[in-house]
Structure 1
């Protein structure tokens, strides 16, 4: 019997935006006496005299532009665009020029504006900028990295251009070569290069970080900020980064390719190594976390992460954090990584669970918004870790584990979030018979029923769903069924029969179906419950909710199959359930077809007269003819169809239908069926049909 794994929504981090950007002193001195006239003159000179002007005059013009950008970035950028100077910059981006760093700086500044990024691409600035990544000058590399990063920000064209120019390869090589260096200059470059890669790989359709690489003291010029999952203000060595949320799902496929490209370059082991070496550098650490957040969604990245010590590094980093937003940033990386079973186990072994339990203990009684969010994230992540078989079993520890005991204490909590997480955790612990038997023997059923009682009237739907999920899984072992029925689980579950919430309906039905499996007395008792049967018949028509519709059909069938009771059959006939069982026989799922046919055979054997009109109206005979004629029908379907045909012959109107449809010819062919049981039943059915004809 399969057990459903039960998961909550992925842990969500805060939606708090930074009030400002922290920064460090890293400013150009500017030009005394700057004015609008100076800017206009500088633009004219740059456009007309770049080839003839001296280095000093060029630098003066560039300094004037930088000063103007510092004063009013948007307005100055508009003037630069209108002047046509962008095209001139391409010729100035040479390693030999003393002005190169300032030109790259200007490009980085104008590219902080969304409307300037495509013009930068159109002006053919990307190829010379990418070539500058090969130079040795620290300042040139720094400003070039900023320029490329800002052009890539929220720009499909920018990313494409960098991709075609091979910029990502060079930047990854730089990160790899600088990775072990801890001097301030190297760390500054590493931070900018990581930022550039993040903008290059960031997917607009997801709520990750995107950075505008700014000069200190200034906010990025960009679209209106929206709330995002991760709070982020990164302290760079002179380069401040702010976050906005992009839009436009059109880029997702391309960006998946770019992310895959980075993964194939081997950037993940390098970044994990970077995190370990530079864990004291707040800016660089956060950049690594953003990188992991951007890449961790891809399945191929999880496989690479699993071969690194990412779990150990993240847990080590997490333990050092005091601020809520820093913890949430790590949570945002842990959530997608923890979807991988190997990494789940690594995180458990690295001590993440103890960190999560500590957070729960500290925040459970708090009414602060940050603490409530942190409690949810920690408990949700705990449930996610239990989705892995190995990690779950390690934490269960034969039912004696401290983690398991702590989770049990969540169920009677007054916090809906902990009630939910506790019930989901029990559902996930209940994924093998040994665990289920131990938990039932140790009183977990009563805890879950008490929890359900607290949510009967206007209760929390997610808690109802989680508790029912746990009870369903616990009811799978044969030895647990009678114990749970004696404890009153069926009655507790029936209290939710009025629920109009499909998730609750679905789990309610599954729980009852598990409970009555091979439990004749319970099946009969429930099968004679008119309110239950009428509700099942109603849900059998819930075409908008396939899961509820399927489970309702299966429970109707199970009530008949396990009770073998005439009273149950009469209740189902009177409630209009026959047509649904006949329809179920045409299901695309063999197991459902078979369950329906067995139930219909019992109806025909025990109460044919009562049901014959409904069977006739539902066109059962025609359906059986189709099932037997179809070469794709499974052997058990053919076998049970023939058994049912033999039973239906006891009804005069149904017998006439059978005779009118030339069943003898179809059944005769099945005597040579490769399945011996089918072939034998075909011979018996042929004889019976011949006698009755």
Structure 2
């Protein structure tokens, strides 16, 4: 029997609270989704919170069919509205959207539901924890997805991510998420499970910040080295260069009777800028790839 709800409103209740009563179902997820559909119309925060938590817990547990239920429930536009509202539910909603972004079946509906523009709007916020989850959602959306990459690039994801890197240089977790998002947008990223480790690098050029990430190969014979350079070439104008090198271990080459010189790069840190610049526009171009090196360059005006 399908799940149905009654929605009652007491005229005497000054808080204009809502109450949902399931006629028949023990499915907590279905009940929570139905509640969000009804309560989300007015974003009644105190009553929405437990239902958002129920959906978040269920999605984290990767229960079979949960992602499909979320997609067909119609709550994605409500999540987009919640992100834009700047209310008490913004952080919880950002966490939920970041988890939903892991599910390919759900993130395909992000664009139509307005979640892409909502996430980009959130990237202009000052709350670093909210930024962390919003950037993580964008990173997951764009991983290995040319359609999502193109949409995010067209709508200005790169300048917003670069602005965060410059504004919060001391937040390592936020820095790593933004760097992974930039790599995924360039279609040269690694899956989260790869365990890439990021560090700040040394640059010999004024106005340039360098990051390098190392992701060990699962076979144990080498690693992937990713270099991200953010270079200021005019006031408020930056070039973001992303390069990926494949580096093999000496034991691998000795095993095959070959020797190879590992490329060395100067690495370490430059200070960050505390100003968040207004995004003007963004464009990108692809540099031709070679067998040993892949490069992507974004020209960004902030």
Residue pairs, 1:672-691, within 5 angstroms: none
Following superposition, the deviation at residue 54 of structure 1 comes to 2.5
Equivalence for 2:112: 122
Q: Does 1:189 find its partner at 2:158? A: no
- Residue deviations 1:48-101 (CA, integer Å, cap 9, x gap): 221335311111111000111122255211110011111221111125211112
**Which of residues 259, 272, 279 in structure 2 aligns to 1:379?**
259
- When you count helix as a share of all residues, which structure comes out higher? 1
Following superposition, the deviation at residue 376 of structure 1 comes to 5.3
Normalising by structure 1, we get a TM-score of 0.28
Supply the distance in 2 between the matched residues of 1:377 and 1:294 (Cα, whole angstroms): 35
Supply the distance in 2 between the matched residues of 1:36 and 1:150 (Cα, whole angstroms): 32
Aligned CA distance change for structure 1 residues 198 and 377 (closer, same or farther; 3 Å): farther
Q: Is the 8 A contact 2:196 2:214 kept in 1?
A: no
Q: Is the 8 A contact 2:90 2:130 kept in 1?
A: yes
Q: Report the secondary structure of 1:333's partner residue.
A: strand
Aligned CA distance change for structure 1 residues 74 and 187 (closer, same or farther; 3 Å): farther
Equivalence for 1:211: 191
Q: Is the 8 A contact 1:202 1:294 kept in 2?
A: no
Supply the distance in 2 between the matched residues of 1:74 and 1:122 (Cα, whole angstroms): 24
Following superposition, the deviation at residue 291 of structure 1 comes to 3.8
Following superposition, the deviation at residue 375 of structure 1 comes to 5.6
Q: Is the 8 A contact 1:95 1:132 kept in 2?
A: no
Q: Does 1:99 find its partner at 2:84? A: no
Aligned CA distance change for structure 1 residues 167 and 293 (closer, same or farther; 3 Å): closer
- When you count strand as a share of all residues, which structure comes out higher? 2
Q: How many residues align?
A: 217
Following superposition, the deviation at residue 233 of structure 1 comes to 2.1
Supply the distance in 1 between the matched residues of 2:112 and 2:64 (Cα, whole angstroms): 19
Residue pairs, 1:581-592, within 5 angstroms: none
Across the aligned residues of Structure 1 and Structure 2, the Cα RMSD in angstroms comes to: 3.8
Following superposition, the deviation at residue 113 of structure 1 comes to 2.0
Aligned CA distance change for structure 1 residues 149 and 138 (closer, same or farther; 3 Å): same
Q: Is the 8 A contact 1:202 1:210 kept in 2?
A: no
Supply the distance in 1 between the matched residues of 2:229 and 2:122 (Cα, whole angstroms): 26
Equivalence for 1:145: 135
Q: Report the secondary structure of 2:245's partner residue.
A: helix
Unmatched segments (≥5 aa) in structure 2 = 1-24, 199-204, 217-223, 231-239, 265-302
Aligned CA distance change for structure 1 residues 374 and 123 (closer, same or farther; 3 Å): farther
Q: Is the 8 A contact 1:133 1:171 kept in 2?
A: yes
Q: Is the 8 A contact 1:145 1:196 kept in 2?
A: yes
Supply the distance in 2 between the matched residues of 1:176 and 1:285 (Cα, whole angstroms): 21
Q: Is the 8 A contact 2:197 2:214 kept in 1?
A: no
Supply the distance in 1 between the matched residues of 2:40 and 2:148 (Cα, whole angstroms): 26
Q: Is the 8 A contact 1:111 1:150 kept in 2?
A: yes
- Residue deviations 1:398-438 (CA, integer Å, cap 9, x gap): xxxxxxxxxxxxxxxxxxxxxxxxxxxxxxxxxxxxxxxxx
Supply the distance in 2 between the matched residues of 1:79 and 1:41 (Cα, whole angstroms): 11
Supply the distance in 2 between the matched residues of 1:210 and 1:333 (Cα, whole angstroms): 13
Aligned CA distance change for structure 1 residues 373 and 80 (closer, same or farther; 3 Å): farther
Normalising by structure 2, we get a TM-score of 0.61
Q: Report the secondary structure of 1:93's partner residue.
A: helix
Supply the distance in 1 between the matched residues of 2:159 and 2:96 (Cα, whole angstroms): 24
Supply the distance in 2 between the matched residues of 1:377 and 1:80 (Cα, whole angstroms): 54
Supply the distance in 1 between the matched residues of 2:44 and 2:172 (Cα, whole angstroms): 34
- Residue deviations 1:240-260 (CA, integer Å, cap 9, x gap): xxxxxxxxxxxxxxxxxxxxx
Larger Rg: 1
